[in-house]
Amino acid sequence: MSGANRIPGAGRLTPAKTARFTFDGKTYTALEGDTAASALLANGVHLVGRSFKYHRPRGILSSGAEEPNALLDISRDSARRQPNVRASVQEVFDGMKVQSQNRWPSLSFDIGGINNLLSPFLAAGFYYKTFMWPRAAWARVYEPMIRRAAGLGTSPTEADPDHYASRFAHCDVLVVGGGIAGLSAALAAAEAGAKVMLCDEQATAGGALHFDASVRIDGVDGYDWAQCVVARLKAMPNVEVLTRTTAFGYYNHNFVALAERVTDHMAHPGKKLPRERLIQVRAKRVILATGAIERHMVFPNNDRPGIMLASAAREYLNHYGVAVGARIGVYTAHDSAYEAAFDLKKAGVSVAAIVDCRTRPGEAVLAEARRLGIEVLAGHAVIDTSGKLRVSSMTVARNGGGANRKIAIDALLMSAGWTPSVHMFSQSRGKLRFDAEGQRFLPGTYAQDCLSIGACNGTDGLQQTIEEALAAGELMARATGANGEGKILLSGEQAFEWTGGMVGAAEGAGPDTSAKAFVDFQHDVCAKDIRLAVREGMHSIEHIKRFTTNGMASDQGKLSNMHGLAIAAEVLDRDIPQVGLTTFRAPYTPVTYGTLVGHSRGDHFDPARKTPMHGWEEAHGAIFEDVGNWKRAWFYPRAGETMHQAVNRECRTVREVAGIFDASTLGKIEVVGPDAAEFLNLIYTNAWDTLKPGRCRYGIMLREDGFVYDDGVVGRLAEDRFHVTTTTGGAPRVMHHMEDYLQTEFPHLKVWLTSTTEQWAVIAVQGPKAREIIEPFVEGIDLSNAAFPHMSVAEGKFCGVPTRLFRMSFTGDLGYEINVPADYAKSVLEQVWARAETLGACAYGTETMHILRAEKGYIIVGQDTDGTVTPDDAGLNWAVSKKKTDFVGIRGLKRPDLVKQGRKQLVGLITKDPTIVLEEGAQIVADPNEPKPMTMLGHVTSAYWSENCGRSIAFALVAGGRERMGKTLYVPMPDKTITVEVTDMVFFDKEGGRIHG
């Protein structure tokens, strides 16, 4: 038994295939293919939630993606839990756990219901005028209260264990929507030979055929025809059919994003399948067959459980076999609602009356109603309803006033007409036009290679829809070059041609009323709220929308936009198209984050880059720090050492004996070609033609505006070959910068650039014993001071493998950087370390590297510079060639602001109290007693405790710094002011002799 309201013989589900689920702890039986909504209705459950603001009891309003009320918490297990799921979209799977939301302690008795009594104080925008006094209450009372009240569902607390997949697809024709129009178009396009993709958001294709059982196509029942077409399409090699797949975003160049729900309907999905799949489609042509969405009627108390869209009730009957009530009422402005009443009546459900606000309903449906013995009250309105947790009556009156009549009902079907779904068309940046006669927005002019067909194009009538679709399918297919022979002909019959429709507030909800006539159900926005917004001065539709929050919930105004617009237009006394529509934005319906993220999570979100020596460093106790995506050894603490102790030991050891350091992360670029030197001349400030093969030089690179962009040592291996190095963080940036100039500004130069950052591993050996350590391993290179002075490079062998050996130093002590192909790094390092360790050397990390270079006045681009520092500011004017006639930045350097007096210049700072280490970023002032705001002269860029100097050291950018040598300045901190003296940037070995050892 799958519910007392299931009518035997009705619907398309199989009675034998049952599934059990719980709702708020109670177990129910459903049928395979049921949605949570149809299953609950089958079991007589209408009350499924409490509204957002007023906590009014709410039921199921629709049978589709537009559902604003029936938002449920669905879970498989404690980790697989999703809030705010539309009951009309979620298919039931055996074992599904469903919970209602936004109520306490229970759905039927909810304390929040008091909000409904307080509603006069909670009108639209009330929070703009409240929660202001007293100010102190904001942090401790108002904010916590609002946070608890906000939202409907509660977030899951466990990590999502499911995985999500991603696909890219190219096709000739993408058809969005698998109803009558979409299926016809797909068929025509496929038979014309195009590569076709067809997607539909529902579990089975058919669109309106799910509810409209009176349609016949080619003599066959409409829905059955649809399934046959799907089978036929799936059998064609040039067609892909995707169901449970929503096209949620239309981007430029016919790029459409689809979200396919793979396992949410399955009882036991298993681990292999992704939960959802993102399919990014680039289509040559797009056909939009997105249909239309029925509107509700705006009248007082139109939100009670049991009050729903007419086509929804019809779908619950014809597709799911469920009667939504025993005695139904209908309130309509459109003929289509009559067919819902007819189908229910024929299924044995009592129809109390059809209330039609039009004085002249369609002739055909009127006749049929009479024939079936259904009372029709034309020219009447439903002006109120009653019933607390379920609708129990409707109050009917003649238009314009008159005696009321209260009619007992347990369900009320409403239809104000159909709104063409132009969301995707709008997202494609097409221009809408307003069809005044139909009171609807339709596709106007297209911005992309796209066509709309069927209800979303305003095409009424079955045969017209079919013909329009077939023509469009063939047209688009041929436009992509398809030349298949197949031709499709179809003919359809429908029972009634529909007329009617209205937008805006119905009788009883007009400007002279204050009843709660809901426009936006999910955000509890009533007709009177929209009028209030206009009275408050909101005259543009965007302001009205944001003031009232109409259309801003997860249903994105699918039911409420047109009504809200019409009500606003009436109050503003303007035409609807003049008031305008708010922007349609992707996603069309909510998309799970997992689907968008795909595999970019955890370790894949931000991949960690490791050098080939990472494992060795780890094994030797290194603590790592992140430098961009790289993991770099920060320091190597020995047993019982704090970071300070480890770093101090490393600093001392390097200068007393030697240290081993991994410099592999720095960027390396191989610059090769007859014009290599000329190219580097243009990119750097230095002159490279004077650099002989076998020698290295420190180069600085500027931006065109004259500011320091990157730096690094460049070695010349031959006339036409340079080994360029960059900072770790700057490597990709510099490569891009060089390629930009080479390809677009200097394409005549014969030079090629290759990134070799990951190809060379770099082992730095620095300190007095550096030569002693590496000597036994070097082959083919004379390491004597005379033959291989500081800033040399040579090729040879190291530990038997090819090497580029650099004699260069970032510590200021005798130093080498051994470049070996990355695959050899680990074994080379092990051999070097074995020897180094016995000689008393240590491994050192980036912290020590920072301190030692600072002791010697070496800058770090990006730390001591920030993109606003010129070479002169940094004391590097010596590196700027005065002879070259052109290089990147040459003109920028001459700009008035860059040559003026008083610019911030890099200087050293020593604290009066040598034990105080300044804070990087701290501001510097001349007069510590100056009232605020103080004149800030600059800031501290680098600051360390220097074990080798026995005191703290620092660099700073200070206005007119070099003229302040020897002067006293101050660094104001929150708890004290620190006195400093401006000094030279070299703190250790001022003569610089150690590097030439």
Closer of 785 and 877 to other proteins (Cβ): 877
Q: Which of 379, 484, 580, 875 binds other proteins (CB under 8 A)?
A: 580
Closer of 359 and 744 to other proteins (Cβ): 744
Q: Which of 160, 221, 705, 758 binds other proteins (CB under 8 A)?
A: 705
Closer of 323 and 541 to other proteins (Cβ): 541
Does the footprint of other proteins cover residue 599 (CB under 8 A)?
A: no
Does the footprint of other proteins cover residue 539 (CB under 8 A)?
A: yes
Query: What is the smallest separation between the CB atom of 423 and other proteins, expressed in angstroms?
Result: 13
Does the footprint of other proteins cover residue 542 (CB under 8 A)?
A: yes
Closer of 26 and 891 to other proteins (Cβ): 891
183-185-190 Cα angle (round to 5): 95
Within 8 A by CB and 6+ apart from 360, the residues are 378
Alpha helix segments (H runs only) across 405-536: 423-427, 462-479, 527-535
Does the footprint of other proteins cover residue 739 (CB under 8 A)?
A: yes
Q: In the structure encoding, which two tokens stand for residue 930, read together?
A: 């100056």
Does the footprint of other proteins cover residue 745 (CB under 8 A)?
A: yes
Tell how far CA 346 is from the center of its chain. 49
Does the footprint of other proteins cover residue 351 (CB under 8 A)?
A: no
Q: In the structure encoding, which two tokens stand for residue 477, read together?
A: 């297919």
Does the footprint of other proteins cover residue 582 (CB under 8 A)?
A: yes
Rule CB under 8 A: which of 375-434 touch other proteins? 426, 429-432
What are the φ and ψ backbone dihedral angles of 340, each rounded to 5 degrees? -65, -45
Give CA separation, 285 vs 238, 251, 256, 424, in Å. 15, 13, 11, 14
The SS3 assignment for 481 reads: coil
Plot region of 429 (φ>0 → left; ψ -120 to 50 → alpha; else → beta):
left
What are the φ and ψ backbone dihedral angles of 494, each rounded to 5 degrees? -125, 160
Q: Which of 37, 71, 579, 666 binds other proteins (CB under 8 A)?
A: 579
Closer of 218 and 739 to other proteins (Cβ): 739
Q: At what angle do helices 336-346 and 363-372 cross, to 10 degrees?
A: 20
Q: Which of 161, 444, 615, 789 binds other proteins (CB under 8 A)?
A: 444
Residue span binding other proteins (CB under 8 A) among the ranges 223-231, 293-301, 452-460, 887-895:
887-895
Query: What is the smallest separation between the CB atom of 426 and other proteins, expressed in angstroms?
Result: 7
Does the footprint of other proteins cover residue 253 (CB under 8 A)?
A: yes
Say if strands 405-408 and 49-50 run parallel, antiparallel, or are unpaired.
unpaired
Q: Which of 209, 541, 799, 828 binds other proteins (CB under 8 A)?
A: 541
Q: Which of 483, 784, 838, 885 binds other proteins (CB under 8 A)?
A: 885
Query: What is the smallest separation between the CB atom of 429 and other proteins, expressed in angstroms?
Result: 5
Does the footprint of other proteins cover residue 543 (CB under 8 A)?
A: yes
Residue 790 exposed, middle or buried by CB count within 10 Å (0-12, 13-18, 19+): middle
Q: Which of 892, 960, 972, 997 binds other proteins (CB under 8 A)?
A: 892
Q: Which of 471, 596, 890, 925 binds other proteins (CB under 8 A)?
A: 890
Closer of 17 and 429 to other proteins (Cβ): 429
Is the Cβ–Cβ distance between 13 and 316 less than 8 Å? Answer: no
Residue span binding other proteins (CB under 8 A) among the ranges 4-12, 438-446, 617-625, 838-846:
438-446
Closer of 409 and 700 to other proteins (Cβ): 700
Is the Cβ–Cβ distance between 144 and 553 less than 8 Å? Answer: no
How far apart CA 478 and CA 289 sit, in angstroms, is 19
Name residue 779's beta-bridge partners.
Answer: 797
Closer of 346 and 429 to other proteins (Cβ): 429
Query: What is the smallest separation between the CB atom of 251 and other proteins, expressed in angstroms?
Result: 9
Closer of 739 and 782 to other proteins (Cβ): 739
Q: Which of 606, 740, 779, 930 binds other proteins (CB under 8 A)?
A: 740
Does the footprint of other proteins cover residue 540 (CB under 8 A)?
A: yes
Residue 608 exposed, middle or buried by CB count within 10 Å (0-12, 13-18, 19+): exposed
> What is the DSSP code string of 372-426?
HT--EEETEEEEEEE-SSS--EEEEEETTS---EEEE-SEEEEE-EEEE--HHHH
Q: In the structure encoding, which two tokens stand for residue 919, read together?
A: 């804070």
Query: What is the smallest separation between the CB atom of 555 and other proteins, expressed in angstroms?
Result: 20
Q: How many residues bind other proteins (CB under 8 A)?
A: 41
Cis preceding-peptide flag for 747 (omega within 30 of 0) = no
Q: At what angle do helices 310-318 and 336-346 cross, to 10 degrees?
A: 40
Does the footprint of other proteins cover residue 598 (CB under 8 A)?
A: no
Closer of 309 and 450 to other proteins (Cβ): 450
Closer of 747 and 966 to other proteins (Cβ): 747
Tell the residue number behind the tokens 């979303």, with chain if given.
456
Does the footprint of other proteins cover residue 750 (CB under 8 A)?
A: no
Query: What is the smallest separation between the CB atom of 603 and other proteins, expressed in angstroms?
Result: 21
Give the gyration radius of the chain's Cα atoms.
38
Does the footprint of other proteins cover residue 747 (CB under 8 A)?
A: yes
* Cα distance from N-terminal residue to C-terminal residue, the chain: 93
Does the footprint of other proteins cover residue 578 (CB under 8 A)?
A: yes
Residues making contact with other proteins (CB under 8 A): 252-253, 426, 429-432, 444-448, 539-543, 577-583, 704-705, 736, 739-740, 743-745, 747, 885-886, 890-892, 894-896
